A and B are shown apart, each in its own frame.
Chain A
Amino acid sequence: KAGVTQTPRYLIKTRGQQVTLSCSPISGHRSVSWYQQTPGQGLQFLFEYFSETQRNKGNFPGRFSGRQFSNSRSEMNVSTLELGDSALYLCASSLNTGGSYNEQFFGPGTRLTVL
């Protein structure tokens, strides 16, 4: 079974530009979550999508947005990039059968560098 895939793996942008990152979850997984990892803040939750609906959102500005398609693939967008947006962006998927803990599987991440 293929794991979570993220594209692109590396990206360099300049301040003020916008960027779109893509995540393909494990087949059958309906929940997709996004995280930002930086040296100073660690791993921080951005948002979660389930059945094309945003179910939960972290404490990030409105420049960060996302969406999920009917095939569960997800994209996240960052507009008006700032230097501080340089980070590793991780996507995770889970079956989300409800009730108890659902193991989340992470992709390798997209390394975004803002110059």
Chain B
Amino acid sequence: DQQVKQNSPSLSVQEGRISILNCDYTNSMFDYFLWYKKYPAEGPTFLISISSIKDKNEDGRFTVFLNKSAKHLSLHIVPSQPGDSAVYFCAFQSNFGNEKLTFGTGTRLTIIP
């Protein structure tokens, strides 16, 4: 049962432009929506989160948007930098699931200098 989908396995963006990563979900019971970034040979690192009662959260170059009616989550990175090249996972958490995270399949972002 695929509750979370990242339909773009890869994305290439020119340095300085905006990177937009997308995620669709089916479970309406999620309370927190997160983005993690993963470099090769390292574990995922937390990037930014948003709770279900909000529709936008910003942290520096990173902004997460939540559209609950469309069950859609997106991450905007602007301006994109070469160090942003990594695999990005959206992840979801329910208050009733304790610490369990449900992850998307990941999008490999490549920033072209």
Enumerate chain A interface residues (CB-CB to B < 8 A): 4, 31, 33, 35, 42-45, 48, 50, 55-56, 58, 90, 92, 94, 96, 100-109
CB distance from A111 to the nearest CB of B (A): 9
Binds A, one of B14-22, B60-68, B74-82, B96-104: B96-104
Alpha-carbon distance between A90 and B45 when the two chains are bound, in angstroms: 12
Enumerate chain B interface residues (CB-CB to A < 8 A): 31-32, 34, 36, 41-46, 49, 51, 89, 91, 93, 97-106
User: In the complex, are the beta carbons of A45 and B102 less than 8 A apart?
Assistant: yes
Q: Tell me the interface secondary structure of chain A in the complex.
A: strand
**Chain A: which residue is nearest B93 at the CB level?**
A101
Q: CB-CB < 8 A to B51: which residues of A?
A: 100-101
User: In the complex, are the beta carbons of B103 and A42 less than 8 A apart?
Assistant: yes
User: In the complex, are the beta carbons of B49 and A101 less than 8 A apart?
Assistant: yes
27 contacts between A and B (CB under 8 A): A4-B43, A31-B99, A33-B99, A42-B89, A42-B104, A43-B89, A43-B101, A43-B103, A43-B106, A44-B103, A50-B98, A50-B99, A56-B99, A58-B100, A92-B101, A94-B99, A96-B99, A100-B32, A101-B31, A101-B34, A101-B51, A104-B99, A104-B101, A106-B45, A108-B41, A108-B43, A109-B43
